[in-house]
Amino acid sequence: MKLVKVCGMREAANILEIEQAGADWMGFIFYPESPRFVHEVPDYLPRKSKRAGVFVNASKEKICETVSLFELDLVQLHGNESPGFCDELSRTGIKVIKSFRVGDEFKEEEVEPYHGKCDYFLFDTRTSLYGGSGEKFNWKTLSNYRGNTPFLLSGGITLGDAEALKAFSHPKCIGVDINSRFEIAPSRKDVQKVKHFISNLKT
């Protein structure tokens, strides 16, 4: 497990610091209901870290417009987007991550129609909200995931989880997505915490 995505970024200085801390991907949330909603282009956007835009039930037109404006590398879909919608976006050339909420058991039938339509999956904790709850789910349930689509692990991951994450093994897990547990305030990340986490995870 090598890849670390830091989600919910917004402020230029913080973006630069988190990029320098070693984030592989950075997430920008374009969902107006989120306290981390990005309403304008920051003065700095990452140049080494890949840029992922997070959307919830947005139109294809709105997504494509934002991809162009922010020069996004990836689009992360957190709503009720259909396999057909994911496929349509993929055909525009953008990499697509589809998020799924995992509860007490992993439901293969929920993700199965999305194989071949998305580049990556993201498995987060099941909640009534769209997006992060800051809570963990039982990663062991993912032993029931036998698909070929690579995935990121998300949901309430903290600095203290680095060792457990190194012990977690799944052939399709490529990395983790961190957010609220590394914040000083919504969208503002604690740079030292992120740096320690990345260092711990990758050594």
Q: Which of 124, 161, 177, 190 is catalytic?
A: 124
Both tokens of 156, joined, read 């309430």
Q: Which of 7, 86, 118, 173 is catalytic?
A: 7
Residue 177 designated active-site: no
Q: Which residues pair with 96 in a beta bridge?
A: 75
Interatomic CA distance for residues 64 and 121, integer angstroms: 20
Residue 7 designated active-site: yes
Q: Which residues are catalytic?
A: 7, 124
